[in-house]
Structure formats: structure tokens, C-alpha cells
Amino acid sequence: MAQEIERKFLVKSDGWREEADEGTRIEQFYLFVAENRTCRVRIKDGETARLTVKTGTGIARGEYEIDIPTSDAEALRVARIGAAIEKTRYRVPLGKLTVEVDVFSGALEKLVLAEIEIPTVDHEVVLPDYLGREVMGDPAYTNARMALDGRPHGDTSS
């Protein structure tokens, strides 16, 4: 199984927009959520779909992904738990890395988070000024938890 190593941050300004791509619309929903594993379906721009199983917690997690027909993803939507997450993901270059900025809509409107996938747990990253507080260790900011509980308690995004 592949491993995903990432850090997650609140976004405090629009400084990322000048270098961002055009963005991809994402709808994702969860089929199950447990303490150390999740299964989600993600539909991108209404055209492609992927089923993802994640295991573990923290900065490094197991991740298994498989493309599925969009029609299957749409059929699975009725089996979801919690709310569907709606967002637009923008990719912003950061040296050899990429910052993925998620601008949420729907029930999570005005929340903006960024993720940086890194090659190793101890990989040093010079963080751009537009990133705010790191929320990787806060389970309330996982997409799975937000699908079940909504906006993180005390979130002041605007």
C-alpha cells in the first residue's frame, strides 16, 4: 500500500492565488469512518471518480486508491455517511513540492485549508506567508470529521 505523508494548514490570505492553476471541483463523501481508517469516494469535475481507503492517523498514513466509473461513484452516493464535502482544489507550486489549496463551499463555505505532500516525515519545508496555523494534528480538520460534524468548533475562517 502506498503511503501519504502530508502537512495541513489553515490559509490566512489570498497570496497563493497568483500562482495557482485553474482549480478542480471536487465532491467527496465517505462510506465509512473509523478511528484509524476511512473509505471515501471522490468525484472530480463530474468526470472522473476514485475510491480511496486510508489507514492510520497523523502525518503519515497508508493510502490505497483505485479509479472507478463515475456512474458507480454516483450510485454509491446514497450509501454515504454524513454530508458530502464540496470544494475547489487549486495546485500552487512550492519549489519541487506542490501546495494544494482547498476552498470549501456548501456547509463549509469560507473555510480554506492547504495540504503539502512531502517525501519524508522529516522533510523540511519553507512555508509560504499565506499559510497560517498547522492543523495536521487536529482531527476536527480532517475531511472525514467535517463530513460527520461540520465546520470545526471555534473555526474563525471568513
Backbone phi, psi, residue 15, to 5°: -60, -20
DSSP per position, 101-133:
EEEE-GGGTT-EEEEEE-SSTT------TTEEE
**Residues labelled catalytic:** 30
Q: Vertex 33, ends 83 and 63: CA angle to 5°?
A: 110
DSSP per position, 46-100:
TTEEEEEEEES-SSEEEEEEEEE-HHHHHHHGGG-EEEEEEEEEEEEEETTEEEE
Is residue 155 helix, strand or coil?
Answer: coil
